[in-house]
Amino acid sequence: MCLAIPGKVISIRGDDPLTRLGRIDFSGVVKEASLAYVPEVTIGDYVIVHVGFALSKVDEAEAHKVFEYLKQIGELGELEEPPR
């Protein structure tokens, strides 16, 4: 199942709004995502990410609620890197 997951923007790379990338912290798992759809996002903001793209900003409290729900239903495993 593909889920849109909330995460916290911990760094931003690039100046061009179409190619800006953010390092996103998903409750301890850090991945990179495109910020092209959310040019207003700054470091410290929470975003909803789906298939490598931040789709929208989200309130921090709401992001934490979603993480709790995902933990309860056991869906956070999809964030982990596959074994090599």
> 52-77: per-residue pLDDT in tens?
999 999 999 988 888 888 778 876 66
Q: Which two tokens stand for residue 78?
A: 């999809």
Predicted pLDDT of residue 78: 54
CA distance linking residue 45 with residue 8, whole number of Å: 6
Q: Does residue 30 lie in a domain region?
A: yes
Give yes or no for residue 1 having a pLDDT over 80. Answer: no
Predicted pLDDT of residue 75: 62
Predicted pLDDT of residue 28: 87
| CATH number of the domain within which 25 lies | 2.30.30.140
Containing structural domain, residue 17: 5-75
Q: Does residue 82 lie in a domain region?
A: no
Total domains, the chain: 1
Q: Does residue 81 lie in a domain region?
A: no
pTM of the model: 0.80
Bigger pLDDT: 75 or 82? 75
Q: Does residue 17 lie in a domain region?
A: yes
CA distance linking residue 62 with residue 66, whole number of Å: 6
| pLDDT tens figures, 10-52 | 999 999 999 999 999 988 889 999 999 999 999 999 999 999 9
CA distance linking residue 24 with residue 33, whole number of Å: 7
The position carrying tokens 């190619």 is: 19
Calculated CA dihedral for residues 71, 51, 53, 32, nearest 10 degrees: 70
